[in-house]
Structure 1
C-alpha cells in the first residue's frame, strides 16, 4: 500500500521531523521517498538557479542524514498547496507527509498553509509532529460510519505494524431520549463491531490489534477525552471534504486538530 511517499519540505526544522517519519515508514514498508521543496518567491532568473541549488543541497542532506536510500529530490516553483497537490498526483504518491506549520498573523483570515494543502490534496496526508519518530504503537481512529471514516480506518490499519493497537472510537449523542441511552449505546457498540468486521475484508490479515469503543457525547469531546486517557501516538481522521461547502472549508474538528496536533495525524482525503 505505502510504496511511494512524498514529503513536502519547506526547509524548516518541523519539516525535518516529516523526513524522519518518512524514513521510518519507508523502512517498514520498503517504500520509495520523494522530497519536494516548493519555491513560492519569485527571483530574477540569474538568482533562481542559486536558490534551487541551495534547496537541493538541503534536501540531499536531509535524505542522507536519515539514511534514505531510495530517494528522489524535486524542486518546483509556485504556490505551495496546489503545487504539492499536483506533484502528489503526478507521482501517484500513496501518502503525503508534512511537518507542522506555524500560523502567521495574515493566515488567520485565510487558513494556514497546512489547511490549504489538506484541502487541495487528494492523497492521504500524514502530519508528523512527534520528534521521537518511534514506530506507532497506538492509533486512535474516529469512526462515524461514513465512507470517509471507514477509508481512514483502513489507511490507519495499513500504516501500523502487527505489534500496534488500533482503537475505533464512535461518539454517540443520546439527545432527547436520554432514558434509553444505555440501550442505544449497546446497539451502537454492536453496529461498530459489525462495521469493523466488514472493514476487515478490505485489509490484509496481518495487522494491528483491533479495539473499538462507543462513548456518549459530542464527537470532539469524546475524542479529547480519549486522547487524554489513551494517549495514542497517531490520530486517524476522515476529512469529510466531499460536499461543495466542505471542499472550501475543512470540518471544524479536523481543522482544530491540524492546528493543535496532540500527536501525529493521518488524514483521509
Structure 2
C-alpha cells in the first residue's frame, strides 16, 4: 500500500473519511493525497474562488489529524488541478464530474486505495447509479473504502463475505494481509434447495457438506498465497456458515461481532459490462452500519 487517494466533498462525512485515510496512511507508511472535485460547469471566477477555499479547508483537515498534506501553489488554474508529488502527500483540487475525476486522479497518482465518505444519493437523472461511491465501485480498478464511522483506532474486527469466487478469495487475502492484528470473521451464506417445501435433514447435511468442501478449497488456495504467513493468519480467522441470504448473513455477523469493517469482493468484468454493482456490495455500501471495503 504505497499511495492512498481520499476523495472529499468537504462535508462532515468526508471528515470521517479523511481521519480514516490519515490513520491508514500512518499505519501503512504510505503517501496520502486528498482530492476535492469542483463542478466544471461553474463560471471560471467561481471555480477559482472555490478552489482556494477548498485548499484551505483540506489543509485545515490535515492539520487537525497532524498528518502533513502539502501542496504547491496553483501554476495553472485553467488546467483545473493543483500539482503534487506522485509519491508523496498532497492536496488536489480539480474540476470535473466527481467519479470520473476521482478515477483519473487515482490513475495519475498511482493510488492503491480510494477512500471516500458515505455520500448522499444523486438526483433522479442518475437513478440507476445512485451515488458517487457506487460509480467508483463500477469502474475503479483499485479497492474502494467507504467510511461511515469515526476513526478511533485501527480496524480490529472484520467481516468478510465468502462465495468461493476468486474475487472473494482476493478480498479475504487483502483483509488478512492489510490488517494483521484484526480478528477476521469469514461468512458464507447458503440456502437449501426446496427449503420452503421439504424438511429433509439429509438434504441439509448434504448441502452443508458441499459448502464445507468449497470452503476447504478456498482455504487451501489462501494458504498457498499466504505462504509462511499462513499459520498466524488462520489463527485470526473464524469461519461462519449461515443458512440465509448473503446480505442478511453479513448484517447479522456485523451486529454479533460489532465489526468495524466489512470486506466484499465483486466480479469486476461482468459488472463493468452490465453497468451494475453486485447486489451484496450495493446493499453493504448503502445499508451497512460500518465501514465497507470493496475489492475487485
Query: Structure 2 length as normaliser, TM-score?
Result: 0.83
Match of 1:256 among 257, 280, 283: 283
CA shift digits 1:129-153 (9 cap, x unpaired): 1114421111111111111111111
Give 5+ residue unaligned stretches, structure 2: 69-87
Is residue 20–residue 133 contact of structure 1 (8 Å, CA) maintained in 2? no
Q: CA deviation at 1:102?
A: 1.6
Aligned twin of 2:250 = 223
Cα 1:256–1:150 shift into 2, 3 Å? same
The structure that has the greater radius of gyration is 2
Gaps of 5+ in 1: none
Aligned match for 1:135, one of 142, 154, 161: 154
* Aligned partners of 1:189 and 1:213 also within 8 Å: no
Within a 5 Å distance, the mapping from 1:114-125 to structure 2 comes to: 114-125=133-144
SS in 1 for 2:154: coil
* 2:97 maps to 1:79: yes
Residues 1:213 and 2:236 aligned together = no
In the alignment of these two chains, the number of paired residues is 267
Check conservation: 2:138, 2:272, Cα contact below 8 A: no
RMSD: 2.1
Question: For structure 1, which segment, 54-63 or 168-177, has the greater mean C-alpha deviation from structure 2 after superposition?
Answer: 168-177
Q: Which residue of 2 aligns with 1:27?
A: 26
Aligned mates of 1:146, 1:55 — CA distance in 2: 42
Whether 2:5 is the aligned partner of 1:6: answer yes
1:218-263: CA deviation from partner (whole Å, max 9, x where unpaired):
2223223222222211101112232167640112221122112320
Q: 1:32 to 1:81 in 2, by over 3 A?
A: same
- Offset from partner CA, 1:104-123 (integer Å, 9 cap, x none): 55354542222112212111
**What residue number does 1:268 align with?**
295
